């Protein structure tokens, strides 16, 4: 009898919580927090709003910028779930959020350091990374440069933990990896030149020491002069002189985030899934650089299909 009463009370409590989260009357309160009011963050928010409107979702959505934190206009008690868009929004929200937080448009390393510092429950704190999975980047190399299978990579303090996963992914893709680790910007060019002795293509991984506004041009120019193509992780680096990149647009990440939230609503839960890499992605090629290096590269559409086909086989 006592056990039955206990179960009944638990069930009643679950119903109360369920109603409090908005599911009972079909309204889930979502707060979008943008790192800034323009650019990529706004594109993500617009993509999410468009997806929800198209799919007739029962979400009550508010959008604010991080400037709202300075004047006390943020009330998390009226929110069921927060979507922090961009690194700055993630850092601001992580301080005192007491509801589930989905962080998007954030680098993997930034998310992991923020999560450890804030000590959030993993079921209520997750992310869609800005980074691409290593396998996908290696698949781009294989698709664009099928005759080059010696990959060189520069690792800094923030990316050195990627060496073992990269080596594992390289074995699966049947390519070799040579790595140089650097601790200061002065180390970068000498380390890069050492890589040229063993690598015939360079893979750039996100690291604020290695790739930043002070170092990027030197890296691109040095590799170009050595006739070693550089595969980057963003479209902007391709425009600056990298050969190619696989990346996700803000709209693609926004769609993935919206789909994730729709699944939560349909499952009637606010338990977040583990952090995940972008589901949707694009390929960009600098064909002028390709011609200068004497390379014949397939169309971006063809490369994209090859990468997708490789992913499906895994």
What are the tokens at 148? Answer: 């080059």
Structure confidence at residue 247 as a pLDDT band (50, 70, 90): very high
- pLDDT confidence bin for 95, thresholds 50/70/90: confident
* C-beta of residue 143 within 8 angstroms of C-beta of residue 306: yes
Mean per-residue pLDDT, 245-254: 97
The predicted structure's pLDDT at residue 36: 83
Confidence of residue 202 (pLDDT cuts 50, 70, 90): very high
Share the mean pLDDT of the chain.
88
pLDDT band at 118 (very low <50, low <70, confident <90, very high): confident
Summarised one tens digit per residue, pLDDT across range 10-59 is 433 333 343 344 444 457 899 999 998 779 999 999 999 999 999 877 78
Beta-carbon neighbour count of residue 98 at 10 Å?
A: 11
Rounded Cα distance, 219 and 93, in Å: 35
pLDDT of the residue at 311: 65
| pLDDT over 90 percentage in the chain | 72
pLDDT of residue 163: 96
Question: Can you tell me the mean pLDDT for 153-170?
Answer: 96
Do 280 and 51 form a contact (C-beta atoms < 8 A)? no
Residue 75's pLDDT band, with cuts at 50, 70 and 90, is low
Residue indicated by tokens 């490369």: 303
Residue extents of the structural domains in the chain: 26-130+252-267, 134-247+281-313
Look up residue 297 and give its two tokens: 């590269």
Burial readout 177-196 (b: 16 or more C-beta within 10 A, e: otherwise): bebbebeeeebbeebbeebb
Could you read off the pLDDT of 205-236 as tens digits, one per residue? 999 999 999 999 999 999 999 999 999 999 99
Question: Is residue 6 predicted with pLDDT exceeding 50?
Answer: no
Domain at 134-247+281-313, CATH homologous superfamily? Response regulator (3.40.50.2300)
CATH level 2 (architecture), domain 26-130+252-267: 3-Layer(aba) Sandwich (3.40)
Q: State yes or no: pLDDT of 92 exceeds 70.
A: yes
Backbone angles phi, psi at 118, to 5 degrees: -85, -20
Q: Is the dihedral of CA 154, 155, 159, 160 positive or negative?
A: positive
Asked whether the domain spanning 134-247+281-313 has the same topology as the one spanning 26-130+252-267, the reply is yes
Q: Which of 173, 179, 181, 216 is nearest to 195 (CA)?
A: 179
Question: Which pLDDT score, from 0 to 100, does residue 123 have?
Answer: 82
Average pLDDT over residues 122-129: 91
Mean pLDDT of 168-182: 96
Question: What's residue 314's pLDDT?
Answer: 45
- Give CA separation, 177 vs 33, 187, 210, in Å: 39, 19, 18
Mean pLDDT of 289-309: 97
């Amino acid at each position: 009898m006592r056990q039955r009463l206990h179960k009944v009370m638990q069930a009643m409590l679950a119903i109360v919580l369920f109603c409090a989260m908005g599911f009972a009357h079909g309204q889930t309160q979502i707060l979008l927090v943008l790192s800034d009011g323009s650019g990529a963050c706004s594109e993500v928010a617009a993509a999410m709003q468009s997806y929800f409107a198209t799919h007739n979702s029962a979400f009550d959505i508010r959008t604010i910028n991080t400037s709202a934190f300075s004047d006390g206009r943020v009330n998390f008690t009226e929110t069921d779930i927060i979507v922090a868009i961009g690194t700055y929004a993630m850092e601001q929200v992580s301080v005192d959020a007491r509801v589930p937080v989905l962080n998007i448009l954030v680098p993997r390393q930034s998310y992991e350091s923020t999560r450890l510092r804030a000590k959030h429950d993993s079921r209520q704190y997750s992310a869609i990374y800005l980074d691409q999975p290593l396998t996908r980047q290696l698949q781009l190399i294989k698709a664009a440069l099928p005759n080059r299978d010696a990959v060189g990579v520069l690792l800094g303090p923030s990316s050195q933990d990627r060496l073992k996963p990269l080596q594992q992914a390289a074995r699966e893709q049947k390519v070799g990896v040579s790595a140089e680790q650097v601790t200061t910007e002065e180390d970068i060019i000498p380390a890069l030149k050492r890589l040229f002795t063993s690598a015939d293509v360079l893979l750039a991984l996100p690291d604020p020491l290695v790739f930043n506004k002070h170092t990027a041009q030197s890296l691109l120019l040095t590799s170009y002069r050595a006739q070693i193509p550089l595969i980057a992780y963003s479209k902007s680096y391709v425009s600056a002189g990298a050969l190619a990149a696989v990346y996700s647009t803000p709209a693609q990440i926004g769609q993935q985030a919206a789909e994730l939230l729709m699944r939560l609503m349909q499952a009637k839960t606010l338990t977040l899934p583990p952090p995940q890499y972008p589901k949707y992605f694009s390929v960009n090629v600098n064909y002028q650089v390709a011609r200068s290096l004497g390379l014949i590269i397939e169309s971006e559409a063809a490369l994209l299909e090859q990468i997708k086909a490789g992913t499906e086989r895994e």
